[in-house]
């Protein structure tokens, strides 16, 4: 009787846990529905301000558009604009190759510089807020016409470096297609580093989320600062590095000083029959495809680099889950056996023999 009472208590406990799980599942679904409700304004904004302009731009790219006093006149040309750009426009291909090489070179420089500055600003120093303001201030001030004026005055380069001799030295070793972007990076070194303000803030937020006890445990085990950087800091900042890399590529690609952006604007407001809004839209779509491919290559390069301890953690989690499943199987088997024995006792098939210690 006591065992049946005990079993019933266990069943009640299991029933309560099952009901609690069902309630938590309902609560999660409710939270999910509320999340979708809050996302509705974003979907509406994306449809109105992103999807519709993209569709219109692609339709423009398939037409030759002329602006007349009576309005816009569309002449469907299909892939004619794209063919004209790739075959008959040498400036676009030259600027595109320069953009690819300069972006591939300058993106790692900006990300590494932002990481170094973020680690320095994350140390215990006085006036951290002031130094953060100094590094983020160019993002607010140096934009648009101001950036063009500073670049024209030579403020974007380091005056102490003889860029002419450096350019000639690089050109003597490397081919022109690689030497020119590298020289441009040195010529506009200050401008390039001005682009790292947002990346510094992103790295700072990632560094502040790392648990300090991990560094303390590593130092107790004899880990050096270099080992802590490679085995604690970098693995925890892997997602931030990917985010900053993508942000840097997109920021450089949309920069007003980018020659391809300038070429697209000139083609848009050109008065010739061959060019115009349709021609500029086709050029923008080709440029966007190249930017997306570049972002995908960087994302693939960074996302496939797995942490050396990640497999061990996954293996340990799988072993823990397997152990929990085996434990539940054993508990269910024991409950079934206990119920079976109880039924057999109730039917009189099993009799309990009591022994007296005095017999021994």
Q: What is the pLDDT of residues 99-151, one digit of tens each?
A: 888 888 888 888 988 898 888 888 887 777 777 777 777 777 666 566 666 66
183 inside domain: yes
User: Does 118 share its domain with 224?
Assistant: yes
User: Does 63 share its domain with 163?
Assistant: no
172 inside domain: yes
What band does 291 get if pLDDT is binned at 50, 70 and 90?
very high
What band does 29 get if pLDDT is binned at 50, 70 and 90?
confident
User: Does 206 share its domain with 140?
Assistant: yes
Q: How far is CA 15 from CA 9, 21, 22, 23, 324, in A?
A: 10, 10, 11, 12, 19
Q: Is the dihedral of CA 310, 313, 314, 315 positive or negative?
A: positive
User: Does 148 share its domain with 215?
Assistant: yes
182 inside domain: yes
User: Does 154 share its domain with 266?
Assistant: no
What does the block give as tokens for 341? 């024995």
User: Does 237 share its domain with 263?
Assistant: no
Look at residues 212, 239, 257 and tell me which one is the last residue of a structural domain: 257
**CA gap 107, 242 in Å, rounded:** 11
39 inside domain: no
User: Does 113 share its domain with 235?
Assistant: yes
pLDDT of 355 strictly over 50? no
Q: What is the pLDDT of residues 206-220, one digit of tens each?
A: 888 888 888 888 888
Looking at residue 5, its pLDDT comes to: 46
Can you tell me the mean pLDDT for 21-31?
66
Look at residues 226, 257, 288 and tell me which one is the last residue of a structural domain: 257
Looking at residue 283, its pLDDT comes to: 92
pLDDT of 2 strictly over 50? no
User: Does 224 share its domain with 278?
Assistant: no
Q: What is the pLDDT of residues 225-249, one digit of tens each?
A: 888 888 888 888 888 899 999 999 9
181 inside domain: yes
76: enclosing H helix or E strand: strand 71-76
94 inside domain: no
Average pLDDT in the chain? 78
Looking at residue 9, its pLDDT comes to: 61
User: Does 77 share its domain with 196?
Assistant: no
Lowest average pLDDT, out of 5-9, 66-70, 86-90, goes to 5-9
User: Does 221 share its domain with 309?
Assistant: no
Looking at residue 289, its pLDDT comes to: 93
pLDDT of 46 strictly over 80? yes
Q: Are the beta carbons of 61 and 82 closer than 8 angstroms?
A: yes
Q: What's the CATH number where 184 sits?
A: 1.10.3720.10
1 inside domain: no
User: Does 139 share its domain with 229?
Assistant: yes
More confident: 262 or 172: 262
Looking at residue 214, its pLDDT comes to: 87
3-state helix, strand, coil in the chain (%, to 5): 75, 5, 20
Percent share of the chain, pLDDT over 90: 8
Q: How far apart are the first and last CA of the chain?
A: 30
Question: Which distant-in-sequence residues (6+ apart) come within 8 Å of 298 by Cβ?
Answer: 107, 245, 246, 249
Q: What is the pLDDT of residues 149-194, one digit of tens each?
A: 666 665 555 554 556 666 676 667 777 666 666 666 666 666 667 7
Looking at residue 357, its pLDDT comes to: 45
User: Does 316 share its domain with 179?
Assistant: no
pLDDT of 252 strictly over 60? yes
Looking at residue 15, its pLDDT comes to: 58
Angle between helix 197-208 and 90-121 (nearest 10)? 40
What does the block give as tokens for 78? 């299909």
User: Domain tally for the chain?
Assistant: 2
- Over the Cα atoms of the chain, what is R_g? 33
Can you tell me the mean pLDDT for 261-280?
83
Looking at residue 1, its pLDDT comes to: 44
Q: How far is CA 213 from CA 154, 236, 309, in A?
A: 47, 14, 18
Question: Can you spell out the DSSP letters for 282-311?
Answer: HHHHHHHHHHHHHHHHHHHHHHT---TTHH
158 inside domain: yes
**235: containing domain:** 109-257
More confident: 107 or 358: 107
């Amino acid at each position: 009787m006591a065992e049946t009472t005990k079993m019933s208590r266990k069943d009640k406990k299991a029933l309560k846990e099952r009901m609690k799980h069902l309630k938590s599942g309902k609560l999660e679904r409710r939270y999910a529905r509320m999340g979708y409700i809050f996302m509705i304004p974003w979907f509406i904004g994306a449809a109105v301000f992103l999807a519709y302009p993209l569709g219109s731009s692609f339709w423009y790219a398939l037409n030759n558009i002329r602006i007349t006093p009576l309005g816009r006149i569309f002449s469907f040309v299909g892939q004619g604009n794209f063919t004209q750009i790739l075959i008959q426009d040498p400036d676009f291909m030259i600027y595109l190759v320069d953009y690819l090489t300069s972006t591939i070179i300058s993106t790692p420089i900006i990300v590494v510089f932002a990481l170094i500055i973020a680690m320095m600003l994350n140390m215990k120093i006085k006036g951290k807020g002031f130094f953060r303001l100094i590094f983020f201030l160019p993002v607010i001030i140096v934009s648009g016409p101001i950036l063009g004026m500073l670049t024209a005055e030579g403020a974007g380069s380091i005056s102490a470096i003889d860029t002419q001799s450096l350019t000639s030295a690089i050109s003597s070793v490397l081919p022109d297609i690689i030497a020119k972007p590298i020289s441009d990076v040195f010529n506009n070194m200050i401008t390039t580093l001005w682009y790292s303000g947002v990346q510094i803030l992103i790295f700072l937020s990632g560094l502040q989320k790392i648990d300090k006890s991990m560094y303390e445990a590593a130092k107790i085990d004899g880990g050096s600062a270099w080992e802590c950087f490679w085995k604690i800091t970098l693995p925890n900042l892997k997602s931030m590095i990917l985010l900053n890399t993508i942000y840097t590529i997109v920021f450089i690609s949309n920069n007003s000083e980018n020659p391809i952006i300038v070429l697209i604007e000139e083609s848009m407001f050109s008065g010739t029959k061959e060019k115009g809004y349709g021609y500029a839209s086709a050029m923008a779509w080709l440029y966007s495809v190249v930017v997306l491919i570049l972002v995908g290559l960087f994302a693939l390069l960074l996302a496939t680099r797995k942490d050396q301890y990640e497999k061990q953690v996954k293996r340990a989690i799988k072993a823990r889950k397997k152990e929990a499943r085996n434990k539940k199987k054993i508990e269910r088997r024991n409950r079934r056996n206990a119920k079976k024995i109880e039924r057999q006792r109730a039917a009189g098939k099993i009799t309990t023999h009591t022994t007296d210690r005095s017999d021994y």
